[in-house]
């Protein structure tokens, strides 16, 4: 008690900031916008977290979404990130490793479409070994972080998608996974529930927004840009 009194109003300030953050997060997660906002995807995953789930994130914005918007509510190391270890394409191979190490757990891999393209052939391993992995793809036809950087740093080169649309559900089906493609928020929850309850591996391809970011500095810079810094 003596120690807490010396902190003054700081504990109350922290609680206030945390409450504000959770309200903002809840508002974003409830969005019915199309393309689907990643915040909505993380909120739906939170509902299906369970004690037996292991979450693996790929690099770039996927790590930000899972790290900032997902709350771990059970003890133990349940979330794996490539921070300081590797770049794009890390997520699916890491999920394979986690599934082999913990075969009684369902592993959920959150990846961007650019990241999955680096290691898409590993879906054959997942299918061949029937690993308990569910891949959730944030598919916005872009290298999201780089596209944000081009817009904020240069004010150009961000107007068009980085690649043509790819139906990763069709790709996954070709490898033998249970797969679904989702482009409306109302279809997201049932698709995830079906994928996470599948007997073998599964994939949910979510057509998602590119102009959402978990990085506060990105948002602030974009707001400054819309006031004329980059003519947007």
- Show pLDDT as tens, one digit a residue, over the chain (232 residues): 444 556 789 999 999 999 998 999 999 999 999 999 999 999 999 998 877 899 999 999 999 999 999 988 878 878 999 976 568 999 999 999 999 999 999 999 999 999 999 999 999 999 999 999 999 999 999 999 999 999 999 999 999 999 999 999 999 999 999 999 999 999 999 999 999 999 999 999 999 999 999 999 999 998 887 544 433 4
Residue closest to 139 by CA, chosen among 191, 99, 104: 191
3-state secondary structure of 168: helix
Cis peptide before 35 (omega within 30 of 0): yes
3-state secondary structure of 215: coil
Residue closest to 110 by CA, chosen among 158, 171, 44, 160: 44
Query: How far, in Å, CA of 96 to CA of 122, rounded?
Result: 9
Say if residue 11 is exposed, middle or buried (CB neighbours under 10 Å; 0-12, 13-18, 19+): exposed
- Do 63 and 80 contact (CB within 8 A), yes or no? no
pLDDT of residue 229: 42
pLDDT of residue 49: 80
Residues facing residue 161 across a β-bridge: none
């Amino acid at each position: 008690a003596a120690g807490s009194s010396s902190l003054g109003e700081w504990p109350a300030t922290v609680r206030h900031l945390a409450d504000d953050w959770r309200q903002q997060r809840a508002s974003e997660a409830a969005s019915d916008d199309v393309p689907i906002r990643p915040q909505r995807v993380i909120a739906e995953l939170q509902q299906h977290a369970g004690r037996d789930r292991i979450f693996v994130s790929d690099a770039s914005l996927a790590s930000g979404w899972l790290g900032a918007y997902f709350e771990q509510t059970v003890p133990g190391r349940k979330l794996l990130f490539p921070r300081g270890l590797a770049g794009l394409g890390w997520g699916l191979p890491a999920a394979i490793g986690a599934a082999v190490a913990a075969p009684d757990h369902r592993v959920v891999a959150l990846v961007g479409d650019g990241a999955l393209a680096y290691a898409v052939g590993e879906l054959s391993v997942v299918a061949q070994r029937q690993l308990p992995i569910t891949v959730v793809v944030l598919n916005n036809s872009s290298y999201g972080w780089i596209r944000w950087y081009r817009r904020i740093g240069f004010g150009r080169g961000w107007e068009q998608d980085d690649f043509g649309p790819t139906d990763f559900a069709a790709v996954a089906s070709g490898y033998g996974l249970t797969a679904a493609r989702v482009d409306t928020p109302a279809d997201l929850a049932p698709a995830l529930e079906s994928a996470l309850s599948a007997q073998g591996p599964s994939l949910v391809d979510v057509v998602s927004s590119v102009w959402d970011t978990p990085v506060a500095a990105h948002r602030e810079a974009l707001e400054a840009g819309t006031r004329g810094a980059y003519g947007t």
